[in-house]
């Protein structure tokens, strides 16, 4: 049997073809536009996702025996709001996870409804990127569109609906909507009432590895695939990435250096961070996880290299960096505001500490270190909850950089396990498809068999001590400039 994983990302859809033994046969990537109609807004057209995914599947399967394809599943960008009308037409462009327009709605939820009640209903508080504030924004700012809503769904679930005809979501992705009772794994009646929506407008919920249906006959025909190809629910991108790195079961950690950055801690027990700096979500393995999420991670390096330095040769930019732990330049990585642990949509990126002799290499180094320092902020919250982590897996585009992995290991004082495939969410999607098709009895069993560690980056005591001193300085920068950010925005 062959299995297709689909990672519906922010800049592109990535597709992977894998066999039962975990051998990757082919990977395809297809880009689509990202729109910023106003400062702080971020939108995409769901139709673009579907069109590029369909073309991607055709390209992915062109050279294989398509009759061997048994299932397809997904990882996908979380929190995005996709709304359809009675004719299943997309009402407006999708409002994405990194969109910051919902400050008023987020403040209303956190301050008037109250963080304590939100945490009681959903195990989380409101962040501007979450889906519930977006629904309230449409209700308040586009009432004519709100009145037309027949279906509310997340980005990857739009693909599942178009392919199978099943209106569905999974627990891990739905956890990030601020509409689900995470512990009870059901929609929250209180949150539906607050948002003015009904359960009929929300998808049926599944475990990430459960079959939601088969490809619709006309879709199977268009793709040249058998009618019996199963569509499996899939997971939010971070949960899918955790599956793809074997971060399942109890007490395991994964760091993702993608467009956004996350630290993901799996658990077989439900738990809530009382400070609400970390998200408490369901996991794709059927259990739970805590997660710290920063909005700009590898995207900081992409912005710095491509937009500022005007180069896409990332390796060359990093080749001259050799004085780790000694940089006097610091960088706050808040290009799109920040989620964990600050929950501040007004936060912005800034460099501090430059002098007349500051070099290009030191600026680049500061960007990479700033992302690692910000991820450590979330690790410190996890430590305060009594969670003890000694090692982590790593994935995402940034994980391809040996320098960045070394920084992560020493700034966070963790052993960083490098896996054979750093494909993360798209591999996780393929593994979920394999479990859904019965090739493996559970997500844990599949991950244990298919995910292989090939290297470990160990922290170096002397370098870790240098970075400890610099992290303590980094921690002071955001509180010192926080008040300026809102003034600048106004």
pLDDT digits (tens, 9 = 90+) for 448-469: 999 999 999 999 999 999 999 9
State the chain's mean pLDDT as an integer: 96
Burial pattern 137-163, b for ≥16 Cβ within 10 A else e, equals bbbeeeeeebebbebbbbbbbbbbbbb
pLDDT for residue 345: 87
CATH of the domain at 135: 3.30.420.40
Q: Is the peptide bond before 490 cis (omega within 30 degrees of 0)?
A: no
With a pLDDT cut of 90, the percent of the chain lying above it is 91
pLDDT digits 0-9 by tens, 331-362:
999 998 998 999 898 999 999 999 999 999 99
| Contact (Cβ atoms closer than 8 angstroms) between residue 79 and residue 106 | no
**248 domain-assigned:** no
**Residue 332: closest CA among 357, 303, 369, 306:** 369
Q: Which entry of 170, 173, 237, 417 is annotated as an active-site residue?
A: 237
357 is catalytic: no
78 is annotated as contributing to ligand binding: yes
**328 domain-assigned:** no
Rounded to whole angstroms, the Cα distance separating 103 from 80 reads 16
**322 domain-assigned:** no
Q: Please check the confidence at residue 396 and state whether its pLDDT lies above 80.
A: yes
**202 domain-assigned:** yes
Rounded to whole angstroms, the Cα distance separating 417 from 244 reads 13
Q: Comparing 275 with 411, which gets the higher pLDDT?
A: 411
Q: Please check the confidence at residue 393 and state whether its pLDDT lies above 80.
A: yes
Q: Is 105 helix (H, G, I), strand (E, B) or coil?
A: helix
Q: Please check the confidence at residue 247 and state whether its pLDDT lies above 90.
A: yes
**125 domain-assigned:** yes
Q: Please check the confidence at residue 421 and state whether its pLDDT lies above 90.
A: no
Q: Please check the confidence at residue 103 and state whether its pLDDT lies above 80.
A: yes
**48 domain-assigned:** yes
**21 domain-assigned:** yes
What are φ and ψ of residue 382, in 5° steps? -60, -40
Q: What is the DSSP letter of 399?
A: G
**270 domain-assigned:** no
pLDDT for residue 40: 85
pLDDT for residue 7: 97
Rounded to whole angstroms, the Cα distance separating 455 from 405 reads 11
Helices 461-489 and 402-411 cross at an angle (nearest 10°) of 90
Q: Quote the number of domains for the chain.
A: 1
**Residue 261: closest CA among 378, 351, 175, 352:** 378
Six token digits for residue 216: 């619709």
pLDDT digits 0-9 by tens, 164-173:
999 999 999 9
**Structure confidence at residue 68 as a pLDDT band (50, 70, 90):** very high
328 is annotated as contributing to ligand binding: no
- Domain boundaries, position 95: 2-238
**Structure confidence at residue 422 as a pLDDT band (50, 70, 90):** confident
**Structure confidence at residue 275 as a pLDDT band (50, 70, 90):** confident
């Amino acid at each position: 049997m062959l299995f297709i994983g689909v990672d519906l990302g922010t800049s592109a859809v990535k597709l992977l073809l894998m066999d039962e033994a975990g051998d990757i046969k082919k990977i395809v990537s297809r880009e689509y536009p990202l729109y910023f109609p106003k400062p702080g807004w971020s939108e995409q057209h769901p139709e673009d996702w579907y069109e590029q995914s369909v073309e991607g599947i055709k390209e992915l399967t062109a050279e294989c025996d398509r009759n061997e394809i048994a299932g397809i599943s997904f990882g996908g960008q979380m929190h995005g709001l996709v709304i359809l009308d009675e004719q299943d037409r997309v009402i407006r462009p999708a409002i994405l996870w990194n969109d910051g327009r919902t400050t008023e709605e987020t403040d209303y939820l956190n301050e008037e409804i109250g963080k304590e009640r939100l945490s009681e209903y959903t195990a989380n508080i409101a962040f501007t990127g979450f889906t519930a504030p977006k629904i309230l924004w449409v209700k308040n700012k586009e009432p004519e569109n709100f009145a037309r809503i027949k279906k509310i769904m997340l980005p990857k679930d739009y693909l599942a609906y178009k392919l199978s005809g099943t209106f569905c979501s999974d627990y891990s992705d739905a956890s990030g909507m601020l509409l689900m009772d995470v512990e009870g794994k059901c929609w929250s009646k209180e949150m539906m009432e607050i948002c003015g929506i009904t359960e009929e407008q929300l998808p049926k919920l599944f475990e990430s590895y459960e079959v939601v249906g088969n490809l619709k006959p006309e879709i199977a025909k268009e793709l040249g695939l058998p009618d019996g190809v199963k569509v499996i629910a899939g997971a939010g991108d971070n949960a899918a990435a955790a599956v793809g790195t074997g971060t399942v079961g109890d007490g395991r950690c994964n760091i993702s250096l993608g467009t956004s950055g996350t630290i993901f801690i799996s658990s077989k027990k439900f738990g809530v961070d009382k400070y609400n700096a970390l998200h408490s979500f369901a996991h794709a393995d059927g259990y739970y996880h805590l997660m710290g999420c920063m909005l700009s991670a590898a995207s900081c390096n992409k912005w710095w290299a491509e937009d500022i330095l005007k180069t896409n040769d990332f390796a060359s930019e990093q080749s001259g960096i050799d004085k780790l732990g000694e940089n006097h330049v610091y960088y706050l990585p808040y290009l799109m505001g920040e989620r964990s642990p600050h929950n501040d949509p007004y936060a912005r990126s800034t460099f501090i500490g430059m002098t007349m002799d500051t070099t290009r290499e030191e600026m680049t180094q500061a960007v990479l270190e700033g992302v690692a320092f910000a991820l450590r902020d979330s690790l410190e919250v996890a430590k305060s909850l009594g969670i003890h982590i000694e090692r982590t897996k790593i994935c995402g585009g940034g994980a391809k950089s040996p320098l960045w992995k070394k920084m992560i290991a020493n700034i966070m004082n963790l052993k960083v396990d490098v896996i054979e495939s750093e494909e993360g969410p798209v591999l996780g999607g393929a593994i979920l498809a394999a479990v859904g098709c019965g090739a493996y009895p559970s997500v844990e069993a599949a991950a244990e068999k298919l995910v292989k560690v090939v290297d470990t980056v160990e922290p170096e005591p002397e370098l870790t001590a240098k970075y400890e001193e610099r992290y303590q300085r980094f921690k002071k920068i955001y509180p010192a400039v926080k008040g300026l950010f809102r003034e600048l925005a106004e």
